[in-house]
């Protein structure tokens, strides 16, 4: 394709980013601004117009899907792009280690394999024999985290990852055992290339001679190790002139829990001197009214580079904010809205329901199943298919029917009780046609299995005694669901007497809570949240044997209807967490659960609150045409109906930017919290003067632990200092 052809379809900002060369380039690519088009066009331009050897171009991103799309689109513009290195970070790390392992001081086989999490746990138990599998899993996670921050066993800052004084030794023994195998783990794929480049000048020169262009996509998602690897690849600290171009959006940095460090993009121009910044501010996805909401929210963050998205699609519809009495009303509202649109010819697939935690999908799944609305849950399993939910249901099923072999097999050795598959077979054979708990006392088990069996049997019997054999049914609950009421007699007379309290006891006494909480802590999952939502779903059932029967029937019927739907290839409503929406777009979006404590989550630090706000921004900018926000006055939490307050983010939308439906809570004013005047005066990029340090520029803003506004200034002398403008404004003068 001719250069003029692919440049002609770009707007002015995009073209500026594509043709730039020489100094480092930061492309601030707002949501829906066509960043992939810019990246791929730039690769084609570098090869076709500037004459770069395709093999001298390295472009890295975070997912295989994104890398494949980037390569395909670049090749369509310039066929020689096929010879460029367009990879994921980890794929590049693997290529690097296979190419240069023999020139490093690390004992890495050229034919190494990459150990996954399970392999790490196994190796740890061999390297440190006294560790239990549970402990090994914990330390394996901490070792991976340490490598993401480029911390070695001897690093002084290792305590920031794990305070256990034994951790450095455990980490060291693991590394010794890993190096002896000649293999690597996933953390090594970034850490080791960085260390080799940092310590081996000849390798560094070789790689810098090979790659003359380095491009990084989604740079706001990079971690510390990836940032350090980029610096070594570029040679910026060694006086080389490798051209570096990073693309990202500081307003869409939402993966701190995965190790992403937003400061990498915020400080890029500091780390790479003479950086050129190009802002892609033309949005091709959303209408102006939607973008106004997004801007109003995200500008409340202190630490951002700043940009203003301008819609190429016109004014559009004003987003709608809906206040609802309960979460049941919320699901009914969403269902009704989607159904009415469908009757008017709008496909289900145009709709997406967004929520903060995946546990929130249950209410929508239940409503859609009952009303026969097809849906898909993106990024995770449907609610009743999730491991922790199936575990709990298996416990409930076994309590009801102690002949249930399938449920027994699932729960008897989770957590581990020393009752393996062979022992399970013997127990089942010995108790066929009767209750499994009737296993005779004379039945021979190993000492460990015998102790585990006694414990398991005791828990089952204790839980069974908690359920009175009351002939009453949960008919009231059924009527409440049909009528859409939030509270039934079972829920209002005594919160402690509904089935939720029993299910909570099952989760606790069975050991499932501790078991799955450990997984949450290690892997960043939301299993405990899912268990809490299962507890909440039982609030309308009485705490009786019949109540449990009705609850299990309700689940089984929902699962059956779900399976029937799964066999059909039809358009569907999308149910998705806000984190999983990154990179997606939908014609019609409903962002749900906008209540304090749910979104944003409770007890957030200033930095964490800013990330929550960025997450909200990402959700808003997924919408193309229609956007709705929902907030409930009450919600079932931990098996109890609790009052809720509107999210602070709703006031930040601005009164004139949304249409409000429902009963407005007194705490909702529709007015944004006025920004501290100091924050406007001392904003990022502003030039200042200090008597002691001279002229400088504000390169960052933040909040202290006490909530005080802090500015970070880089002075012409090279020094970087922090100031509290509230107390130091007289010594930190803003230059006109």
Count CB atoms within 10 A of the CB of residue 275: 15
DSSP helix/strand/coil, 58:
strand
Catalytic residue among 409, 414, 622, 624: 622
Of the residues 148, 162, 175, 218, only one is catalytic, namely 218
If phi > 0 it is left, if psi is from -120 to 50 it is alpha, else beta; for residue 244 that is beta
Helices (H), 510-586: 512-523, 527-537, 545-566
| Closest to 305 in 3D by CA, of 242, 252, 378 | 252
3-state secondary structure 158-200: HHHCCCCCCHHHHHHHHHHHHHHHCCEECCHHHHHHHHHHHHC
**73 and 53 Cβ atoms separated by less than 8 Å:** no
**Cβ–Cβ under 8 Å, residues 369 and 562:** yes
The angle subtended at Cα 36 by Cα 31 and Cα 37, nearest 5°, is 110
What residues contact 513, with CB distance under 8 A and at least 6 apart?
Answer: 507, 528, 531
Place of tokens 């390295």: 58
Q: How many Å apart are CA 403 and CA 551, to the nearest integer?
A: 19
The answer to whether 435 touches 464, Cβ cutoff 8 Å, is: no
Selected catalytic residue, list 36, 366, 546, 577: 36
Are the beta carbons of 194 and 97 closer than 8 angstroms? no
Identify whether 217 is a catalytic site residue. yes
Question: What letter would DSSP give residue 384?
Answer: G
The answer to whether 78 is a known catalytic residue is no
Given 88, 208, 220, 252, the catalytic residue: 252
Task: Tell me the sheet residues that pair with 61.
Answer: 88
Q: With contact defined as beta carbons under 8 Å apart, do 378 and 601 qualify?
A: no
Which of left, alpha, beta for 306 (phi over 0: left; psi -120 to 50: alpha)?
A: left
Please state, as a whole number, how many other Cβ atoms lie within 10 Å of the Cβ of residue 541.
28
Other CB atoms within 10 A of residue 503 CB: 26
Distances (CA, A) of 133 to 65, 137, 306, 411, 413: 34, 6, 47, 18, 14
* Block residue for tokens 């069996």: 453
Instruction: Give the integer Cα–Cα distance in Å for 81 and 40.
Output: 9
Sequence-distant (≥ 6) Cβ neighbours of residue 332 within 8 angstroms: 367, 484
Q: Which of 27, 32, 60, 13 is nearest to 582 (CA)?
A: 32
Q: Of 13, 78, 162, 217, which one is the catalytic site residue? A: 217
Active site residue 113: no
Residue 278 CA to residue 297 CA, distance in Å, equals 23
Q: Using an 8 Å Cβ cutoff, are 393 and 406 in contact? A: no
Q: Is 601 a catalytic residue?
A: no
Q: How far apart are CA 181 and CA 400, in angstroms?
A: 50
DSSP letter, residue 280: E
Helices in 602-664 by DSSP H: which ranges? 606-620, 648-652
List the catalytic residue out of 13, 35, 335, 701.
Answer: 35
Give catalytic status of residue 722 as yes or no: no
- What letter does residue 716 receive in the DSSP assignment? T
C-alpha pair distances (Å), 621 with each of 558, 585, 589, 631, 662: 33, 8, 10, 19, 24
Which position has the token pair 């940092």?
198
424 is catalytic: no
- Name, in order, each residue with C-beta under 8 angstroms of 597's C-beta and a sequence gap of 6 or more: 644, 645
Active site (catalytic) residues: 35-36, 217-218, 252, 622
């Amino acid at each position: 394709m001719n250069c003029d052809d692919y440049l002609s379809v770009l707007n002015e900002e995009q073209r500026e980013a594509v043709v730039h060369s020489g100094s480092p380039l930061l492309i601030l690519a707002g949501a829906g601004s066509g960043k992939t088009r810019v990246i791929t066009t730039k690769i084609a331009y570098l090869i076709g117009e500037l004459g770069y050897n395709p093999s001298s171009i390295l472009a890295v991103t975070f997912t295989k899907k994104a890398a494949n799309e980037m390569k395909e689109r670049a090749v369509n513009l310039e066929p020689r792009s096929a010879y460029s290195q367009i990879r994921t970070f980890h794929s590049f790390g693997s290529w690097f280690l296979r190419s240069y392992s023999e020139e490093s001081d690390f004992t890495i086989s050229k034919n190494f394999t990459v150990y996954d999490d399970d392999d790490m746990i196994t190796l740890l138990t061999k390297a440190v024999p006294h560790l239990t599998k549970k402990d090994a899993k914990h330390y394996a996670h901490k070792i991976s985290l340490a490598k993401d921050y480029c911390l070695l066993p001897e690093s002084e800052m290792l305590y920031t990852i794990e305070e256990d004084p034994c951790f450095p030794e455990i980490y060291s023994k693991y590394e010794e055992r890993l190096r002896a195998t000649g293999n690597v783990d996933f953390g090594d794929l970034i850490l080791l290339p960085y260390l080799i480049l940092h310590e081996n000048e000849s390798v560094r020169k070789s790689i810098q001679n090979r790659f003359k262009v380095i491009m990084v996509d989604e740079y706001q998602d990079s971690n510390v190790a990836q940032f350090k690897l980029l610096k070594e690849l570029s040679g910026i600290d060694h006086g080389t002139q490798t051209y570096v171009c990073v693309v990202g959006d500081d307003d869409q940095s939402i993966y701190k829990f995965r190790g992403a460090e937003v400061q990498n993009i915020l400080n890029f121009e500091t780390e790479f001197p003479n950086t050129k910044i190009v802002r892609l501010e033309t949005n091709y996805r959303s209408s102006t009214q939607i973008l106004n909401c997004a801007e109003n929210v995200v500008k409340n963050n202190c630490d951002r580079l700043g940009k203003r998205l301008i819609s190429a699609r016109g004014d559009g519809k004003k987003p709608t904010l809906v206040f609802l009495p309960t979460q049941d009303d919320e699901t009914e509202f969403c269902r009704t809205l989607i159904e009415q649109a469908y009757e008017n010819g709008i496909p289900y697939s145009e709709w997406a329901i967004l929520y903060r935690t995946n546990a929130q999908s249950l209410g929508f799944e239940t409503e859609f199943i009952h009303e026969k609305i097809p849906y898909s849950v993106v990024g995770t399993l449907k609610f009743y298919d999730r491991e922790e939910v199936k575990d709990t249901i298996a416990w409930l099923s076994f309590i009801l029917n102690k002949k249930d072999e399938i449920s027994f097999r699932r729960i008897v050795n989770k957590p581990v009780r020393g009752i393996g598959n062979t022992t399970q077979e013997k127990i089942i054979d010995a108790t066929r046609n009767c209750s499994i708990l009737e296993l005779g006392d004379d039945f021979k088990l190993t000492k460990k299995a015998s102790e585990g069996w006694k414990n398991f049997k005791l828990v089952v019997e204790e839980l069974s005694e908690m359920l009175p054999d009351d002939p009453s049914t949960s008919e009231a609950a059924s009527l409440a669901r049909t009528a859409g009421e939030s509270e039934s007699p079972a829920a209002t007379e005594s919160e402690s007497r509904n089935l939720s309290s029993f299910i909570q006891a099952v989760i606790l006494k069975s050991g499932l809570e501790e078991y799955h909480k450990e997984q949450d802590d290690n892997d960043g999952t939301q299993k405990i949240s899912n268990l809490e939502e299962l507890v909440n779903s039982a609030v309308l059932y009485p705490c009786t044997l019949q109540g449990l029967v009705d609850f299990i029937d309700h689940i089984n019927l929902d699962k059956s209807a779900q399976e029937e739907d799964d066999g059909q290839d039809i358009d569907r409503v999308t149910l998705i967490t806000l984190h999983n929406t990154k990179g997606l777009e939908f014609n019609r979006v409903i962002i749900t659960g906008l209540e304090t404590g749910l979104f944003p989550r409770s007890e957030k630090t200033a930095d964490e609150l800013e990330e929550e706000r960025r997450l909200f921004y990402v959700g808003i900018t997924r919408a193309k045409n229609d956007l709705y926000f929902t907030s409930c006055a009450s919600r079932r939490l931990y098996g109890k109906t609790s009052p809720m307050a509107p999210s602070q983010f709703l006031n930040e939308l601005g009164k004139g930017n949304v249409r409000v439906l429902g009963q407005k809570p007194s705490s909702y004013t529709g007015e944004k919290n006025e920004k501290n005047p100091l924050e406007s005066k001392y904003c990022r990029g502003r030039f200042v003067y200090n008597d002691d340090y001279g002229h400088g520029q504000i390169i960052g803003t933040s909040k202290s632990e006490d909530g005080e506004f802090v500015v970070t200034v880089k002075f012409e002398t090279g020094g970087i200092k922090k100031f509290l403008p509230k107390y130091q404004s007289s010594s930190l003068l803003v230059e006109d």
